Amino acid sequence: MTIIVHHLENSRSQRILWMLEELGLPYEVRRYARDKATMLAPPELRQVHPLGKSPVIEDGDRVVAETGAIVEYLVEKADGRLGAPPHRDAALRYRFWLHYAEGSLMPPLLVKLILGRIPLIGKKAATKIQPMIDRHLDYVEAELASRPWFAGDAISAADIMMSFPLEAARSRAGLGASRPASTAWLAKIHARPAYQAALAAGGPYAYA
pLDDT tens-digit readout, 101-148:
999 999 999 999 888 878 777 777 778 899 999 999 999 999 999 999
List C-alpha distances in Å: 204 to 46, 95, 103, 112, 141.
23, 30, 26, 23, 28
Is the model's pTM score more than 0.85? Answer: yes
Question: Phi/psi zone of residue 48: left (φ > 0), alpha (ψ -120 to 50 degrees), beta?
Answer: alpha
| Burial category of 73 from C-beta neighbours within 10 Å (exposed 0-12, middle 13-18, buried 19 and up) | middle
Please list, in sequence order, all residues whose beta carbon lies within 8 angstroms of the beta carbon of residue 198, skipping any fewer than 6 positions away: 14, 17, 18, 20, 21
pLDDT at 95: 98
What residue ranges define each of the domains in the chain, with the CATH number in brackets?
3-82+194-202 (3.40.30.10), 88-192 (1.20.1050.10)
**Mind listing the pLDDT tens digit for each residue in 18-76?**
999 999 999 999 999 998 888 889 999 999 999 999 999 999 999 999 999 999 999 99
Counted residue by residue, the chain has a size of 208
